[in-house]
Structure 1
Amino acid sequence: MMPSFFFAHGAPSLVLEEHAYTDLLKQFAAKLPQPKAIVIFSAHWEEQVQTVSSVDRYSTIYDFGGFQDELYRMTYPAPGDRPLSEQIQSLFANHGISSRLDEERGLDHGAWAVLKLIYPDADIPVVALSVNRDLTNAQQYEIGKALSELREQDVLIIGSGGTVHNLRSVNWRAQGVDEWAGAFDQWLQSKLTAWDTEALFQYEELAPYARMAVPTSEHFVPLLIAMGSGDANRQAQLLHRSYQYGNLSLSCWQFN
């Protein structure tokens, strides 16, 4: 069964950077079977109704400003997979989750920046999905769970976001890690590895510095979705964690 993953996408410039985390992403494909397709939830696509992309080939969205000129010349023209999009919509319906298809939207940087590092040739079909921060944490988990059987069909499920993502608190010149960011991620690690969904669904009240780490939840939601897709076996493994700018976390979680 194909594992599912959560990747922090950091700043848009991640795709140009060279460090331990980008090394892990660049070497990632060699450690996995070739997926039939990729299903990716990005923190940067928010909709009130669960939306499933259904395009022939993706355009590239530059949903950021003030970064290197090179970023605005990058493209990721991955093909879509309409039959898979329709299958996903059917799986959602079977689990009582309303959804709709989108035939126009391209890939935002939460999706393409990560995928370009892992699969730079853009030759694997992609289905992008939206997130909705207004759902409960249990509902986010159920969205992933609804798609779990895709893993048996060699479909790679990815959540792209960030566990500690507070842009108002970043320090562009920081060298170390802010204590509050590390404390939150340590709590999160303990609950994920124990598969303690009861605590995770209440992380806002139970986790230390939760409001600092997750001021708005759209970047945290993809983690819960990716975790939900691993509900059958309930095994979580931290593959990488580092920080930029004092508290912007770069983490990778695998769910088996």
Structure 2
Amino acid sequence: MDTFFIAHGAVNVVVDETVPVRSFLQSWKSDTMQETPKAILIVSGHWDTDAPTVNLVHGTNDTIHDFNGFPEFFYQLKYPAPGAPHVAQRVKDLLDTAGFGPVKEDKARGLDHGAWIPLKLMYPDANIPVCELSVQTGKSAEYHYKLGSALAPLRDEGVLIIGSGHVTHNLKDRGPNDGPTPKWASDFDTWVKDSLLNGRYDEVNNCEKVQGYKMNHPKPDHLFPLHVALGAAGNGAKATLIHHSWTDSVISYASYRFTAAQ
């Protein structure tokens, strides 16, 4: 299985046809990935913990409405995907063996909107088991790359690994959708693209040193899922840009596919 970094957007993406990423996610099964995974492991920028944590859910995942200020309709949306306790246990074993433990488990937590929003568009039937893994913003980008590397065996077991976040994520400085993208956002987005497409992964894993990093990521929770997905693709993986658009002037929806070396 290839691994992916997907921009998830706000909850309005589910219904707002003017948001370009919506049609990209809706065409996922026809245009991006025809093979149906046995299970999905998704790493969301909306679950930040001190130690790696998986939601080990038996039964159906709850839908977490972790957003504010939207019409009541959005709080009624559900994504009742089954849990993937076997994947959660496998993630724990792999990460514990690789020295990232002790990995914690949460048997009550469902899927936050960084997980269920894209999945609701990609796999609307909600019939594929889903497990979520947290990020640790107290750690580094390189830490998350190595964490992803430890999860690489899951690809051969039919598990689709998705990082869900954004390449740029400064909500404080948002502007109109049709407004110009400021240089600090476009420069960082271009740097990520050029570094990934040209295989400069060491630079990506040291992104904290790059000019504009803190401006684009006051908190790195939405960028670290990219590093997990990249690491999980294995050494020598090839990056492909599979979608690119902007909203709010400063929010990049750049999404990437990582194909393992043959």
Q: Distance in 1 between matches of 2:255 and 2:205?
A: 20
TM-score normalised per structure 2: 0.93
Does the Cα contact within 8 Å between 2:163 and 2:225 map onto a contact in 1? Answer: yes
- By how many angstroms is 1:202 displaced? 2.2
* Unmatched runs of 5 consecutive residues or more in structure 1: none
2:134 counterpart letter in structure 1: S
Q: Distance in 2 between matches of 1:34 and 1:150?
A: 15
Q: 2:48 aligns with which of 46, 49, 56?
A: 46
Secondary structure class of the residue paired with 2:226 = helix
- The change in CA–CA distance for 1:173 and 1:254 in structure 2 (over 3 A counts) is closer
Does the Cα contact within 8 Å between 1:91 and 1:147 map onto a contact in 2? Answer: yes
Does the Cα contact within 8 Å between 1:13 and 1:68 map onto a contact in 2? Answer: no
1:54-133 equivalent positions in 2, closer than 5 A: 54-56=56-58, 57-98=60-101, 99-133=103-137
Does the Cα contact within 8 Å between 2:145 and 2:227 map onto a contact in 1? Answer: yes
> What is the count of residue pairs matched by the alignment?
254
TM-score normalised per structure 1: 0.95
Secondary structure class of the residue paired with 1:254 = strand
Cα deviation, 1:135-182, whole Å, max 9, x if unaligned, reads 122111011111111111121000011110000000136433222211
Counterpart for residue 148 of structure 2: 144
Secondary structure class of the residue paired with 2:53 = strand
Counterpart for residue 210 of structure 1: 213
1:231 counterpart letter in structure 2: G
Q: 1:223 aligns with which of 226, 231, 235?
A: 226
Q: Distance in 1 between matches of 2:213 and 2:178?
A: 21
1:54 counterpart letter in structure 2: L
* Unmatched runs of 5 consecutive residues or more in structure 2: none
2:24 counterpart letter in structure 1: L
Counterpart for residue 14 of structure 1: 13
Q: Within the alignment, does 1:245 sit opposite 2:248 as a pair?
A: yes
Secondary structure class of the residue paired with 2:45 = strand
Does the Cα contact within 8 Å between 1:41 and 1:129 map onto a contact in 2? Answer: yes
Does the Cα contact within 8 Å between 1:145 and 1:229 map onto a contact in 2? Answer: yes
Does the Cα contact within 8 Å between 2:83 and 2:130 map onto a contact in 1? Answer: yes
1:162-241 equivalent positions in 2, closer than 5 A: 162-172=166-176, 174-206=178-210, 208-241=211-244
1:132 counterpart letter in structure 2: Q
What percent identity do the matched residue pairs reach? 37
- By how many angstroms is 1:35 displaced? 0.3
2:38 counterpart letter in structure 1: K
Deviates more, 1:128-137 or 1:191-200: 191-200
Q: Distance in 1 between matches of 2:180 and 2:204?
A: 27
Counterpart for residue 34 of structure 1: 36
Q: Distance in 1 between matches of 2:231 and 2:85?
A: 23
Secondary structure class of the residue paired with 2:137 = coil
1:201 counterpart letter in structure 2: N
1:3 counterpart letter in structure 2: D
Q: CA RMSD of the aligned region, Å? A: 1.3
- By how many angstroms is 1:233 displaced? 3.7
1:130 counterpart letter in structure 2: S
Q: Distance in 1 between matches of 2:253 and 2:201?
A: 22
1:60 counterpart letter in structure 2: T
